[in-house]
A and B are shown apart, each in its own frame.
Chain A
Amino acid sequence: MTHAPVRATIVGAGGLGGPIALSLGAAGIELTIFDHDLVELSNLHRQIQFTAVDLGHPKATRLAGLVVSRGGKARGVVAKWRTPSELDGELAEYVAESDLIVDGSDDPETKFAVAGWAVANGRQYVIAAALRYGGNVMAGVPGVACYRCLFEEPADVPSCAEAGVLGPVVGAIGGAAAAIALGIVRGQRGLAGALLAFDDLRSVAEPRILKFAPRPGCPACMRAPISPLATPLRIAEGEPS
């Protein structure tokens, strides 16, 4: 029996988006990859999906091309958004059919916008972030506490470009995000609504699993569909082990 293909959108084609896209693409998930940046020389130490031949090209289309070259299905969208509301509109335009949305962006407002869009549209989502030597991953599914239940509003926090990140850290966090995303689409929701915190991957590889409850008055949850519990998605035959 063959299931309908799972479609996923990845926001951010950089250090996190690279391993997420390659992993999900190799697992047979059809991808739409959003980013509005071009590949720069300063990216290459941590965005190892790119090489010198990619310099100056859009990250989204180059990463999508790499996924396709490895047998996957992907399209890159050179996004235009500059504000969360613009992102909301672009997501609605391009990814209405996505079952899952994964954020690997580098700014907190985008993470809030992605999580908000996913909650409002009853989609499953994963938010990944990395900084310095660690990072965190949160998986959300309809009906559980959301990203905005945890962090109430975007903070003025430093980005990788400002605070730095150890190159392999984004690969590790991106890999963890991809694994959790695959778990979610297979109906494994044990980590949904929890935050996986990787403190310092130089010394401790195991994350702490931190739990939190839905927050009364959460503005994202108030936009959620009334009957939010979705049927677990199934990926195509030949599921990854």
Chain B
Amino acid sequence: MPSIRVPSALRTFTGGNADVETTATTVRDAIADLDRRHPGIAARILDGSGAVKPFIRLFVGADEIGSLAGLDTQLTDRDEMSIVPAIAGGSDRA
């Protein structure tokens, strides 16, 4: 079954779990499934119109979904979907 790689910044929603399995067959449904089990996480990924927030990117395998079929990208049993947010960090300030 497909898995979702959750970034550390969102693992507070998943009880610290980095990987969550899903029965969803598209990226859009995977986010909905994730949110059903971990309420509130979808609002950190999608904006009010249902689009991916501009500082979050979703990948299926090694490819960003923008180069695939967007949120309608199909997931197969062996796929890993990754949620990748922009992060800062390195010094206190620079």
A contact residues vs B (CB 8 Å cutoff): 11-17, 34-37, 40, 42-43, 47, 59, 104-108, 110-111, 128-136, 150-155, 157-161, 163, 165, 170, 173-174, 195, 197, 199-200, 208-213, 215
Contacts and interface: CB of A to CB of B under 8 A. Distances in A.
Contact of A212 (B53, B55, B67, B92): B67
8 contacts: A14-B91, A35-B91, A106-B93, A111-B88, A136-B84, A157-B55, A159-B93, A173-B90
Contact of B9 (A40, A105, A158): A158
Nearest to B57: A150
Nearest to A216: B66
Contact of B89 (A35, A131, A154): A131
B70 interface: no
Interface string B73-94: 0000000001011111111111
A128 B87 CA distance: 9
Contacts of A150: 57, 64
Contact of A37 (B66, B87, B92): B92
Given A136-B84, A157-B88, A131 B8 contact: yes
Q: How large is the interface on B (under 10, 10 to 19, 20 to 34, 35 or more residues)?
A: 20 to 34
A208 B18 CA distance: 14
Interface of B: 5, 7-9, 18, 53-57, 59, 62-64, 66-67, 82, 84-94
A241 B58 CA distance: 35
A196 B91 CA distance: 20
B92 A151 contact: no
The majority secondary structure among interface residues of chain A is: mixed
Contacts of B88: 105-108, 110-111, 129, 131, 157-160
B66 A163 contact: no
A210 B62 contact: yes
**Best-buried of A34, A134, A154, A212 by chain B (most CB within 10 Å):** A212
A17 B54 CA distance: 26
B24 to A, nearest CB: 20
**Best-buried of B8, B82, B85, B93 by chain A (most CB within 10 Å):** B93
Contacts of B92: 14, 37, 40, 42-43, 106, 159-161
B39 to A, nearest CB: 21
A81 to B, nearest CB: 10
Given A108-B86, A173-B90, 19 more contacts: A14-B91, A35-B91, A36-B94, A104-B90, A106-B91, A111-B88, A129-B89, A129-B90, A130-B87, A130-B89, A131-B88, A151-B55, A152-B54, A154-B55, A159-B92, A159-B93, A160-B92, A211-B62, A213-B64
